[in-house]
Chain A
């Protein structure tokens, strides 16, 4: 059994918070640059230019890419051969507070969802998955709520046609419109249970853009980019940068489909201990 101190988890999480919020993922930045090169709409090109400049300013001046530094979602892939010495949840939440303070990020979390009140840095959302091996993989995804608010779930009939699913995804993007800060990255989770499909959709946002895309992902992306929503919702061919799909087996009676949208400031950082 490999032993890892909770303190180590805390330090790594703190560093990941700063990295994710200050430095735009290289694959996202590349996708924005490719979109700028392809975009024909003049106003859309101007906005994409501002988005790219924003990433440069954020990195150079150690500023948050976006003032909505999100509700941090932490993905933990825990090797079954690892033993954490201490309290894992506490270590993650402490790491978040440390990192968010160090990076001058925003305290966007209210303790009580109904009564609201003063905001703070936590607690955050943590997903733990048990995997083979004796390492721990930590990913921090600061999820902005302009796009999170546009999330949708639909429990399809198991005999639904693929076109019905495609339409649902496209309509979700259309209704997200200018509010959710296009160009988007569209995370899609298909299968499992309702909650699991949601988790898959969120996890799909972590896919790197340079990987081999699936045929369906390409088809959906092409259809979405014909919506003419464009950057800031002011028109253009760049409505989404990518569509990422994750699937999982499901029940004979159902077909859950979840759509979780990210704004163009898709931020995440990963470390392996």
Chain B
């Protein structure tokens, strides 16, 4: 299995092919519906995302003695309306579940980014790959706050590669 680390560089991204399994180490940021809306409503450029990876995830509450609770992917297509704008601002990778719109696929191709899938409905298992979780923004949103996750060998499948090829159209 190919191993990659964040932040993703152009070379790493170019070498990722649709359908292949990858394990990712480094930093990913959780970000889902309300956080996306806020990020773009404010009309700010979000340098935080440059070269970074977003994980569409809202974890459960953290159980005592654990780094994080259950933390699997949520449905990516709900974020489609926000994604091209974030990619234009330098976002390089997304992790989620399910299909993306043709606009998102075109933007992934245009900005040379990548969309990953991870095991859906497997939040307990995926929590074992998280080493550290720190809230970094919008704490008032509870499970929808932005968390910085430090992950080690997080299991992924390339869903849409930088050439715009989708695993669902294989």
Contact = CB atoms under 8 A, between A and B. Distances in A.
Given A104-B69, A119-B144, A233-B98, A64 B123 contact: yes
Contacts of A180: 75
A213 interface: no
Contact of B124 (A47, A64, A68, A146): A64
Identify which of A50, A177, A180 gathers the most chain B CB atoms within 10 Å of its CB: A50
Contacts of B144: 119
A108 B75 CA distance: 15
A144 B72 CA distance: 12
A266 to B, nearest CB: 10
Interface residues of A, number: 40
Given A106-B58, A179-B77, A179-B97, A54 B63 contact: no
Interface stretch (A55-63, A73-81, A85-93): A55-63
Contacts of A144: 121
B57, B63, B66, B125: residue with the most chain A Cβ atoms closer than 10 Å: B125
A64 B98 contact: no
A67 interface: yes
B16 to A, nearest CB: 16
A53 interface: yes
17 contacts: A51-B121, A53-B122, A54-B123, A57-B124, A57-B125, A57-B128, A58-B70, A62-B63, A63-B69, A63-B123, A63-B124, A65-B121, A101-B61, A104-B61, A119-B142, A146-B120, A180-B75
Contacts of A214: none
Contact of A63 (B58, B117, B127): B127
Interface string B109-138: 000000001011111110110000000000
Contacts of B119: 47, 50-51, 54, 232
